[in-house]
Chains A and B, each alone.
Chain A
C-alpha cells in the first residue's frame, strides 16, 4: 500500500521533551491505531500533524510532499481532518452552523439556511443523529451528542487523512458500531486514519496496524493481527499488567441512599433505587438516556422536579431534594462530573489547587489559613496513587494530557471520604493501567463501606467495577441486573427498552 503520511525523526519539547525521535507512517486505506498511556505524547504528535503545534525537529511528508502546516486551516486545506480530544464547538450557534462552520455562506457571505440544514441532516445521519433538529443550539446537547457532532463535522469533509483522538470516550456501543462502519467506508475510499483510543477491544476490531508510544518514543509498530491487547498494554507500560477480576467488591451492607421516584422534566422520570454501603452500582444507558442528568439531580447541580432522596444518616426519615451541590456535599454526597474541562477543572491553576478544591474543610488551619504543606502532600499522594504524569504538583492542569486531567478530577473527590460517591464516566480518556488503578480505588472505597454509583458508556468498565447494574432507557429505569451474571446482550436490550420498535430492530442487527 502507498504511504500517505510519513513522520521522520520528530522531536518536540515543552518544559521537558515530549516526543523523541518519532518515525511513523500511515498508508492510504489503513486504520492505524496509536496507543500509549496517558501523557505518552499521542495528542502532541497528532497536533503537529494537524498544524496545531510546530515540531522542534524532524520531517513530515503527506502524499509525498513535505508537510509543514502552520495552522489547522492549512492542514485542512491539504485534506487533514482531526477530531480533537476535547470538544471545540460553539454552544450559541446551531447544530447546522457548527457542522458547516467552514462553509457557512454562499459567495456573497449570506447564510444559506436551507443548504446548511440539508447538509447538516446528511452529516447527522451518518453518525446516527438523524432525528436531531439542525437548528437547535448546541448548548442544549449532552456531551455524547456533542462528541458525535464533532465526528460528523470531520466525516462530512471526506478527508484524505482523518485523525480521531479518543472519539469514543463518551460513546456507547451502538454509536461506536456505526462509527466503525463509517470509518471502514472511508478506508475503502482510500483515506488514511489515525485512531487513538484506550479501549483495547476497539483496537482489535478496527485497526489494521498499531503503533505504541511510550514516554515520547515509538516503541513498536505492527499489524494488529500480530498483537493482542495484553501485548499492547505491556508495550505501553513496559511491564505486564495484572488483569483485574470482573466485578464484585464484596458484600453489600446496609442501605445508604434511597432514591424515590426522582424525575426532571425532559431528562428522566420516576427513577427509584437503593444504594447500599459497600456496593458499586453501575448505570448503563445510551447517549441521552439521562444518566448524567440523574447524577446531577441527585447531587443538586440541576435540582430535580419530582421525587426525593432519603439518607441513612437520619434513618431515612426526611425526604430531600438538594438544590445546591454544597447541600448534597454536606449530606455526604460527591459527584465527579462528566465534562471535566468546562465543569470540573480550574485549568490555569496547579494540580494541587485542583485536587484540594473540595477538601478545604480539612486543609484549613486557624483563621482560615490554608495548610499548604498538607495541601501539597495531598496532591502528591494522589498524583502517586493515580500515576499522574506531571512536572510537579504545582503544574497548571492546562498543561496536562487529557487522561491525566481526568485523574486530577477523580483525585479531588477521592481525597474526601464521602459516604456516597457518584462518578460520571470516570474512565473518560484514561489509559488501561490507570483505569485499572481507578477501578481499584473505587472498589477500595466501596470496601471501606461507602456507596458508589458509576455511570459509564463502556460496558467493560461497568462490568469491571459494579456489583449491580441499572439500565436507563429514555430516562426510565429499564432493568436492574447482577453484574456478575448479566450478559451484554441483555443489558443492551434493556437500554433500548423504551425506544421505538424500529430502533430496537436496528439494534438487534448490530
Chain B
C-alpha cells in the first residue's frame, strides 16, 4: 500500500486483477474464460478478479477500473488497454504503488513508455501484421486492379487503426485499389448498412475487408441481400464462432485467430513470474494465424 492504511485480512495468495476492454465481446470473453480455467487449475497460487468496461472505447471507465483495483490492493494488474496512451498515467501510479502491471492485447505506446521511464512487459499479437496477413491471403484470390473496400472499427480505437493499416499495406503490396474506407464502430447492423451502400456505389467491388468479425457478419448480410454472393469476398478478424460457420459455408473468406484464450494466461504467468522470481520478462509476441476454409 501507499499509505499507512490498515491492511485488511487476506488469504496471503497474490490477487490478480484482469482488466479487459469489454466483457461483452466474444474475443475478450474467451480471454477471460482462459484465465478463469487457468486460475481453477492453480487455485493455490493466486486469486482472480475479472472486469471489463461497458463500451470498448470508454477510456475513463477503464481508468476508473484500474483505480478501483488499486483501492482493492491487488498485487497484479493484467490489462488490455482501451487506449495505448490514455492508460499510462494510471498504470504508472499502479506501478508506483508496487503493483505488478502486465500489458496484453493492445500494446502501450512505446515512445510514451520511454518518456515516462516505465517498463511494462507486453504479451500480445500484432494487429497490424495479422490484418496484413489476412489481406495477403485475400489478395491471392484477387488480381491487381481489383477493387476492395475497408470497413473499420471506431475511428479512434488503436486496434481499429492498426487493422485498417494492415489491410491497406497488403492491398498496396498486391496492387489492389481500396475504393473507400468507412467506419462502422465494430457493429454488425451498422456494418450491414455501410456495406450495402458501398456495394451499390461500387458495382465492380471484389471484396470487403472488415476490422472485426461482427462487422464481417453484417457485410455478409449486405452481400447476400445485394445478390452478389460469390462475387464479393468478405474477410474479418477475431475468429469468433459465428465467423467460423460462415467461412465453412463459403460466405466469408478468412479471419484472423489471435489465440485470445491463451493471451490472458500468458499475461498472468508473466506477472506471477515477476512476483515469485523477481525477474523481468521480455515482451512476447503471440501468434496470429489466418483462418480460411482450409484451416477448419
A and B: direct contact (Cβ < 8 Å)? no
